[in-house]
Structures are given as structure tokens and as C-alpha cells.
Amino acid sequence: MSRTRSIGAAMVVGGGIAGVQAALDMASSGVKVYLVERSLAIGGKMAQLDKTFPTNDCAMCIISPKLVDAGRHPNIELLTNTDLIGLEGEAGHFKATVLRRPRYVDLEKCTACDDCVAVCPVLLPNEFNECLDTRTAIHRPYPQAVPNKYAVTKRGTSPCKATCPAETSAQGYVNLIDAGRYAEALKVVMEYNPFPATVGRVCHHPCEGECSRGKLDSPVAICALKRFVADWVYEHGGLQEVMPVAPPNGHRVAVVGAGPAGLTAAHFLAHWGYQVSIFEALPVAGGMMSVGIPAYRLPRNVLHREIDAIVNLPGVELHLEHPIKNVNGLLDQGYEALVLAIGAHAPQKLGIPGEDADGVFQGVPFLREVSLARSLPGRKLPGIGRRVLVVGGGNTAVDTARTALRLGAEEVSLLYRRSRAEMPASAEEVEQAEHEGVRLQLLTQPIEVISDNGQISGLKCARMRLGEPDASGRRRPIAIEGSEFLIECDTMVAAVAQAPEISFLDPDHGLEIDARSETFIVDSKTLATNRPGFFAAGDAVRGPAALIEAVAHGRRAALSVDRYIRGEPLLTPREEVPLPTVDLSAAEIRDMVERGEVSVLPRTKVATLPPAVRRQDFREVAQSLTEEQARAEAERCLRCGLCSECHLCVDACKPGAVDHYLAPTTETLEIGALVLSPGYALYDPERSPELGYGRFANVVTAMEFERMLSASGPSRGHITRPSDGEEPRRIAFLQCVGSRDQEHDYCSSVCCMYATKEAMLAKEHIPGVEVHIFQMDMRAFGKNFDAYYRRAQELGVVYHNCRLSVAREDPQTKQINLRYETHDGALVEEPFDLLVLSVGMEPPAAVTELAEAAGIALNEEGFALRQPFHPVETSRDGVYVCGAFAEPKDIPDSVVEAGGAAASALGVIGEARGTLVEPPVYPPEVEISAEDEPRIGCFVCSCGSNIAGVIDVAQVTEYAAQLPNVVHAENTTYTCAADSLKLIQERIEEHGLNRVIVASCTPRTHEPIFRDTIRGAGLNPYLFEMANIRDQGSWVHSQEPDKATSKAKDLLRMAVARSRLLFPLHTEPQVFNHDALVVGGGVAGMTCALNLAEQGYHVCLVEREAELGGRMRRIYHNALGGDPQAFLADLVDRV
């Protein structure tokens, strides 16, 4: 492909220090850069480090300005939580496909205010702190993260939510009950279901059947917890806060049917501001809840409270005894959409001879008459005899049988043609019926009603056997020949089935009907019928089903109506591509138990009234859990989905940034070159069980120890033993864990130095601590590394040249016993309070998938395959590599290599620089004259505890506020963090500041970002001053806090004095000669000259010798393969 067709854009995969540096180098050269990072923020492993070797500089102080620069750079587009999944084309003109996984927080709207964290009930291990502490499910990766935005951690949809027809976030309300936050828990339920107390009593709870806890012992009592929280909130008040109602939006919707589906639809539509008219043929609202479910399961005061809460909503009108036949007439009345939720009240007969005899009832009408007679004056109870037979195996049949007992029947038998295992009724309800005296006659099929003078006197039946499964999945009953027998009775209730009553609609309704099931034909996901604006829900669509399914349909219909009227797609991306359902393995659950993350309490049993008491009346049988029982039961939840989807963060977020319904998206980007820098993974020492990691509390990895050292870590820089929180007095480091072994035949390059660094820092943090490092040998090959090693020895760090094979724990003291060989050959065993494993580097996670996507080869260790003499080139032209993905290396080498990779990429696309970028845009600069009074703002940085752990920053801030011309002084935790930089800009506008001072660390790394910050607020960048209270205060006086605080005041006072004298400075355009001069014609000089030439620059290469090549002319062999002289000859020819 010709150079002129190159695309002036590049992609960098990996946002660690190497990737960020490569991106900055290319962006500053004038090309568009897509910086792709698979985690939530850039920074990589370096952001986790406390210090860097061999200078012991603050790692965050070095990398943070680069992160901010990358995040602000107009030529860099950050694509976090993103993976490269495909690369087509050739060098200069690639098409890169990326998968952007949702973070469930809109980056444009999020202000990083932290309000969401305050309400999140889910605590998870904090990965940034190596799981040494916890964080909430919605979180910011770390304080200085770029982008400085929040994200939600989801493993998938919890099985309970995935199984619930209404998609109720059961984990959400269960976790909140565990925390004692009952009103919020009820709010979670009512986000999906306006009948929490009702459903909590009668739901068949399919969620419990899929509960992961069932793999350990028994499922969480989810349904009972739902009932508890509803009853508790109703009893204690607070319901008004649960579901606020939106202002009227001027749209009208008609709902036909006041059953659970219709009322649910009305509930949600009314809360969203719609005017809703409900039309019901019966004299009461509630449908089957009111006239089908007996009061002993569902007390009418409980049901009426929840129905009244709906029909009394603003904008809701209920019309009882108002059947609708002409649906078209509703459109003529101005309704913009209709929800048809007419239920399934038409009973089905058995179809056997004699069924019309007196004393024969159908289940649904029977229960309806009982319910109406008990709630409406003038209605009579159906008359039944002493011996009652109920035919059927569903919940209606069981309810009928138990109702018959309460109406005075002496004997009640339930006849079912299959076995108990095939009964569709709730097993709990069947068991309760038996306790109350209902007899089950299974494998029994009625074949004829026997009557005497028109009154039933018996039922002729046949015995059945089970054959092969039928269409329902249950085994088909087959009559046994000659098995007929007679059961005497004076009442029979056929409770076998019911169907919708669609036939009452006028023939011109125009809706498609399923002729077999007599139900409406709808889109299964949206419930839309064949007519625009017409939606159907509940039993009229599915046929007779469970209450929660009707509620689910009602909510789905409301969502579709709302989106239809607003002209939006009826399905969201999340509904189109749902999250996978979490499936915890038994092994994962056992591990959770072993780590102490799971309550081992047994399932709480729901108390019930004694059977003898139950039969006397319709009082409620099942009792509510006590508060103590409920919280104990909620504690049993395994929190499978991580985020519980309680959506409290949605309500807490004032800008409306949180959106749990986002879905993954793919995007194709045109680029000219690709740089791969995905970093590395740390070796998992659990793969070396002999060292005790994961078994012994006081065995930690070096990265865990690094977080202990850090001022922003879990212990704020205080080193403690995990077993008891005490300071260790003896610390051992074990080198080459996951390096230079049978599985890894390479050196990880950094372990010797980072262990030396951590040992030195440990001695700083704990005066008098004894530190030993066990190593095979010392590899101090970098600049100043050997001096660093000697310095550690001078500080008292003890080095042992031996490799330990095993670590043992003292079960009483939890100390780690190490046996080793001394330099004189003696075997010694000593106890240590803490063992730190210096784990090596491995290829990063998902490296195989990345290599396949980028079309590159990997070497046998799993790192990027490179050719000799071409350290940043992969096996594919136009694709480059840098950092630890090339091979294990330290930070300085990674940064240098990043520059090389960027230069190589610019060699391909450099001539297209400037074609896809725009210059930065700043607001107009505020004019400040010499006569203007200085208005100084001081921002004193705590730097976690790096400064605040020594200097009294509150005292310094108060002192600053009293200095001349200081109109605002404020303490910030991390002034270099993106949220603090935004705060500075806000304070400039709020207080009319015309000068800014930051008292923090060194201007060498941070001054540019602060200058750019105030320029973004309209101030001249040279109206900025810094006071270095960290290097010159908290560091040099780390053991003298009073002196450090006093000196910080002096430094700040001097900075204020200088600031008062500042005046705006302005740059002027300059004309430069863009030709390059390279002095030295060795391999480095020639490579540099060639790259600059490839980028389009004229280069003059100067060499003092008579020929090019330098020392390479004397090298004939290379340990990594390749011919040095052939490479040199080719290089000279190219030059």
C-alpha cells in the first residue's frame, strides 16, 4: 500500500506506563490515537506501586501526570473496558474491531461525586488493593484513576433474578435486608412488582429452585424475605418514600382488566405520569388475587392495601362492573394505547357424563363465589356437602380442597390422574393440605358423575398408570383396564383448567387469536399485538399461569406502552443482549465457605398455624419471619451476581449517569498502525502450594506488600500481619517465585530490585524491623542498580544465596518457619512474622485471544514473538510491541521501548500526521492587569498519607487562608487526581481567582498539568505557583512532624509572596527548521536516522569514522539468534 494512503491514526492496546507513553508520543506528534484498555482505567501495574527503584520516587507522582495528560490530550481517545477483537488490512490501512463492554455509568454524565457508593449495599474484594480490603459494587478503580469515573461490577445476572418472571432483583433486596435497610429493600421489590406482600405470600418462587445456595445446603428463603420486608415497611411506615410519582405527561392509556397484570401495568404507567383508566367486569378489583386465591393464603386486608395503593394513585381511574366489548371505541375516546389484561376466568369442564348434576362445581367459579360472599354483602356461600371430591392437581384444586374444609366439609379428597411428582401445584401447598386432612387419591381419573334425583351421589373413577411423557413433559396417564371403582360423595369440584374469555369482544376487534388456546397472539418480548398501540398481558396471553407471571406481563406491557408512546424502540440493548446467568460451581462455593465469606446458618423455617386451628376459619396459615430471622436468612445469600441490581445507585445519581441496561457494543476503527502493550500478569503463587500462599495468613505476594506500603493502600501505609493486625518484627522475602523454574525458564527481570526496594521501605516504615531476602543470585544489571543493592545492605537488609523449597506455619503463633542453608553450609530454621513472595511476570490475561485478534505470533513462553535486531516489531507488519508484553522488563526500559514502538508506528503513518486531529480549544483568557488585586487560591494536597501522615495539612490550610491576598484555601486528598483538577477550575470561577497555588510534591512532574488546568479555566498558565511540601517537607522530615508542618507553612508563605508578583506571560509562534541531525553512525544512530526519514523528515547523519556501523562491525554472534553482520549490511544499505 502506498504511503500516501496511510491513515493518520494509531491504536495502542494497553494502558499501562508503556502504552500511555507510546500514546502520548504519537499524539504529540500529531496523529490520532485510540488508547484501548481492557480494565476500567489506565495506569496498569505502576499505579499500584508505592515507589519505584532505584530512586524510591513515588510511583503515583510519576505516572499520575502522564495519566492526566493522556486523558486530556485532544488527540487521544480513551477506550476503557474495551478489547481488540479483530484486525483486518495491512500496515498503513487497518480496520480494527473493538468490543466495548459496558461500565453501566455514562462517562459524560458522571461527576465522580461518590453519592452512589454511599448507598451501594454490596461489598466486594478490592482488586486495586490486591483484595486486602473491600469496595462497593459501584466504584472508582482508585482515587487518581483516569478516567476518574465510576463503574458497576457485574458477574452476570444472578440465577434468582434470571429465573423470576418479573426479573425482580432478589439479590438486591436480600442484601439490603441483611443490612437492615428495609424501606430501600422494598423499593427494590416494587421497582418490578407492586404486590410485594401479596406475591410474598402466594408466589411459587421459581427463584428458589435456581438459588446457588441450594448447591451448598438449601436455597435462601427469598419469597419469605419479600413478604417480611413488605409487612415490616407497611407496619412501620415509609411506603410513601418508596415509589415517587412523576408529574402528568398528558397521555392517556386504557387498561382492560383489573387483575394482577392490568393493575401492575396501571401502577407503572401512573408512576411515569400517564392518565390510566382501568375497566373491570367484576364488582371488585384484583382478578384472581381477589376471587381465586383464598384468604387463608392471602388475607384480604393485605391485598386491598396494595390494590388501593394503585387505584388511589394520581391519574388512575377504576371502573368496576364495566366490561369492555368494543376495544375500538376506547381509541375513539382518546386513549393512545390499550393494555388487554382480561385474565382467564372461563372454567373448563371435565367432559364426562353426568357433569351437570347438582352439587357439581367448577374450581374458579367456586373460589370466586366464596371470595365474593366473604367480602360483599348479600352474596351467599356455595352450598357443599359433607364429602367433597376435588378433581385436579394444580394450585386451584388444592385451594379448592382446603377451602372446602373451612366451609365445613367433613371429608375432602383430591383426585389427580398422575402421580404426586407430576402435580403442578406447589409442593408446600400440597403438604399443608395433607396436614389439614385433605386425602390425596393419585393415579385416579373420573369417568362419570353418578347422581340420585339430579343430585350427585358419587363419582365413578378408573385407576391409571403412567406412560411416556406427553407434550407437557409429564408422563402421560393411561387407564388400567377393568380398574373402575366408585367414590361416594355429595359435592364435586372440577378444578382442572380455565381459559380466557375473548369471545365476549366485538368481532371487529382486529386482533390475532390463537385458535387452539384462545389467547391473544403477541410478540413474546414486547407483548405487542398485531395492531399498533394494542398490547396484551397476563393469562389472556399465556393461558392460566402463576401470579408472578401476570405481574411480569403487566410491567412488560407498561414498558412497551411507554416506549411506544414516546416513539422509542420497544426493547433496550440489554433486553436484546441480556447478561449471562451466573452459574457458580460447587467448588467455587466451597472456596467461599473456606474463606469465611458465607454464613453457614441453616435455612429459616416459616412458622404456620397448627392444622386443627386452621380448619376453623380463613385466618392466615403461614406467618411472617421475625426481624432476627429475616436478617439471618438474608445473610445466607451468596451474592452471585456481584452487583445486586438494587438500582439504588440510579436513584442516588443526580446527573442520571448510572444505566444498568447498557449492553456490549462493537465498533470498527480505521487506523494505520497498532502498538500492543497489554502488560503482564503476576504469577499466582497458589500454584506453588509448598510456599503456603492462600493457606497461611502471613504469606503475601510482593504486590500485596506494595499495597500495604502505599499511603493509599488498605492500611494507609502501615505494615501489619494479616493474621492479627500486628506489626511484623521479622520479614522474609522469597525470590524467583514463578521465575527461573521448570515452568518458567526465564528471569522476570524486576524481582531482585523490587524486593530490595520493598525491604528498604519496610525498614523506613518499621524502625528496627529485621529483613531477610532469600535469592539464588542478585541481578542488579540496570543503571545504579548495584549501588541500590549495596545501599540496602548498608541499611541492614540481609541477603541469603539459597532457594527455599517449603514454608511451614506455626499454628499457634501463625509465624512462618523457614529452613535454609547459611553461607558456611549450616542448616538453620528460623521463624518470620511475614513472608513476602517475589512473584514473577507471566503473559497477560487473554493473551491468546489478543494475539489472534491482532494476527501476531507468540513465543513459547506466551509473550509476543519478535525477530532478532527488531525489538518492537511483531510478526505482522504495522503491528508493534512494547513493555512487558515483549518480555519481562522494568519501568524505565518499558518507557524507552514505548518510544521505540511509537517511532516505528510513526514511520508508517508519520506523513499523515495532522490529518485526523484538531488543536486543543481553550476558553478566552481572562485579562489581568498590574492594577488588579491578586486573588489567590491555595490548594494543599494530602497525597493520601504521604504528606498528611507527617504534615498537619489542616493546620497548613488554615494558615494559608490567613495569608495576604489568599481568598480561598482548601485541602484535597490527591490534588493531581482528575476530580481535584476539576475542583480547581470550579473554585477559580466561584471565587474569581486570578492566581493559583498548589502545595503538594515536585513541580518537575506536576506543574504542567496544573498550568493546563488553570488555562482551561481561563487563567494564563503562568499565574500558577507550586510549593513542594512533600519532597522538602514530609520526606526530609518524616520523623519530625512539627518541623515538617512548620516548614510547609514557610514554603507556602513564600509561594504566596511569589504569586502576588506573577503576571501573565504569552508565547509567540516560532518558525523552526524541521531537518534532523543525528550524530553517530552506529546501529542506534542509523536506526534513528532511518525512522526520522520514514516519518518524512530530512536527516543529516554524521559519523566521525570512515564507515558506518560502530562497534557492530566487530560483533559476529548473537545469543538470541540472527546474523549481526547481515543485519548491519542491510541497515547500511537502507541508510
Question: Which pLDDT value is given to residue 239?
Answer: 66
Cα 1067 to chain center, whole Å? 47
Range of the domain at 1101: 1076-1134
Q: Do 533 and 481 have their domain in common?
A: no
Are the beta carbons of 468 and 486 closer than 8 angstroms? no
Question: Which pLDDT value is given to residue 742?
Answer: 87
Residue 926 in domain: no
Mean pLDDT of 187-194: 95
CATH code, domain with 995:
3.40.50
Q: Do 837 and 848 have their domain in common?
A: no
pLDDT digits (tens, 9 = 90+) for 228-281: 999 999 998 866 656 788 999 999 999 999 999 999 999 999 999 999 999 999
Q: How many residues does the chain have?
A: 1135
Mean pLDDT of 976-1000: 94
Q: d(Cα 144, Cα 974) in Å, to the nearest integer?
A: 7
**Could you give the C-alpha distances from 1005 to 65, 784, 856, in angstroms and in order?**
7, 21, 36
Mean confidence (pLDDT) of the chain? 94
Report DSSP letters for 351-371, one per residue: --TTTTSBTEEEHHHHHHHHH
DSSP state of 1033: I
Residue 898 in domain: yes
Verdict on whether the full-model pTM lies above 0.85 = yes
Bridge partner residues of 317 (DSSP): 277
Q: Do 553 and 596 have their domain in common?
A: no
- Beta carbons within 8 Å of 321's beta carbon, 6+ residues apart: 280, 281, 282, 283
Count CB atoms within 10 A of the CB of residue 259.
Answer: 32
Report DSSP letters for 684-707, one per residue: -GGGSGGG-TTTSTTEEEHHHHHH
- Beta carbons within 8 Å of 155's beta carbon, 6+ residues apart: 582, 640, 641, 642
Mean pLDDT of 507-535: 93
Grid cell at residue 49? 506501586
From the list 739, 734, 807, the residue with the least C-alpha distance to 772 is: 734
Indicate the residue among 998, 1031, 1060 that finishes a domain: 1060
CB-based burial, 558-576: b 16+ in 10 Å, e otherwise: bbbbbebbeeeebebebbe
Alpha helical stretches, state H, 875-1026: 891-909, 953-961, 978-991, 1003-1016
Give the DSSP H or E segment for 107. none
Q: Do 698 and 836 have their domain in common?
A: yes
- Beta carbons within 8 Å of 998's beta carbon, 6+ residues apart: 938, 939, 941, 975, 984, 1006, 1010, 1024, 1025, 1026, 1027
Q: d(Cα 609, Cα 436) in Å, to the nearest integer?
A: 10
From the list 894, 858, 893, the residue with the least C-alpha distance to 879 is: 858
Bridge partner residues of 817 (DSSP): 808, 831
DSSP-derived pairing of the beta strands 936-941 and 966-972? parallel
User: pLDDT higher for 1096 or 855?
Assistant: 855
Total domains, the chain: 8
Are the beta carbons of 975 and 998 closer than 8 angstroms? yes
Task: Flag whether pLDDT at 1131 surpasses 90.
Answer: yes
- Beta carbons within 8 Å of 239's beta carbon, 6+ residues apart: 186, 233, 309
Mean pLDDT of 648-663: 94
Mean pLDDT of 296-310: 95
Question: Which pLDDT value is given to residue 2?
Answer: 43
Report DSSP letters for 589-635, one per residue: HHHHHHTT-S--PPPPPPPB--HHHHTTS----BPPPPHHHHHHHHT
Q: Do 1046 and 943 have their domain in common?
A: yes
User: pLDDT higher for 82 or 236?
Assistant: 82
- Beta carbons within 8 Å of 997's beta carbon, 6+ residues apart: 936, 937, 938, 939, 960, 1024, 1025, 1026, 1027, 1052, 1055, 1056, 1059
Residue 931 in domain: no
From 234-243, 429-438, 726-735, 789-798, the region with the lowest mean pLDDT: 234-243
Residue 375 in domain: no
Question: Which pLDDT value is given to residue 979?
Answer: 86
Q: Is the peptide bond before 54 cis (omega within 30 degrees of 0)?
A: yes
CA angle 377, 382, 383 (to 5 degrees): 125
Residue 367 in domain: no
Mean pLDDT of 211-230: 96
Residue 616 in domain: yes
Indicate the residue among 580, 597, 617 that finishes a domain: 580
Grid cell at residue 235? 407496619
Task: Flag whether pLDDT at 10 surpasses 90.
Answer: yes
Question: Which pLDDT value is given to residue 824?
Answer: 85
In the block, cell 391519574 appears at 315
pLDDT digits (tens, 9 = 90+) for 564-582: 999 999 998 889 888 999 9
Residue 363 in domain: no
Q: Do 66 and 56 have their domain in common?
A: yes
Are the beta carbons of 701 and 682 closer than 8 angstroms? yes
Q: Do 443 and 472 have their domain in common?
A: yes
Q: Do 714 and 819 have their domain in common?
A: yes
Count CB atoms within 10 A of the CB of residue 500.
Answer: 27
Question: Which pLDDT value is given to residue 345?
Answer: 86
Q: Do 649 and 738 have their domain in common?
A: no
Indicate the residue among 580, 606, 623 that finishes a domain: 580
The sign one gets for the Cα dihedral 883, 887, 891, 897 is: negative
Q: Do 39 and 137 have their domain in common?
A: no
pLDDT digits (tens, 9 = 90+) for 34-64: 999 999 999 999 999 999 999 998 899 899 9
CATH code, domain with 591:
1.10.1060
CATH code, domain with 768:
3.50.50.60
**Could you give the C-alpha distances from 1009 to 32, 198, 350, 733, 817, in angstroms and in order?**
21, 59, 82, 38, 49
Question: Which pLDDT value is given to residue 135?
Answer: 96
Are the beta carbons of 986 and 970 closer than 8 angstroms? no
Residue 874 in domain: yes
Task: Flag whether pLDDT at 889 surpasses 70.
Answer: yes
Angle between helices 547-565 and 260-271 (to 10 degrees): 40
Question: Which pLDDT value is given to residue 956?
Answer: 96
Q: Do 480 and 416 have their domain in common?
A: yes
Question: Which pLDDT value is given to residue 1050?
Answer: 96
Q: Residue 946: which pLDDT band, with cuts at 50, 70 and 90? A: confident
Question: Which pLDDT value is given to residue 930?
Answer: 82
From the list 1021, 853, 750, the residue with the least C-alpha distance to 17 is: 750
Long-range contacts of 889-895 (CB under 8 A, 24+ apart): 889/749, 889/750, 890/53, 890/749, 890/750, 890/753, 890/782, 891/17, 891/46, 891/52, 892/782, 892/783, 893/782, 894/16, 894/17, 894/18, 894/21, 894/677, 895/17, 895/18, 895/21
Q: Do 435 and 471 have their domain in common?
A: yes
Question: Which pLDDT value is given to residue 314?
Answer: 94
Task: Flag whether pLDDT at 3 surpasses 60.
Answer: no
Grid cell at residue 744? 518458567
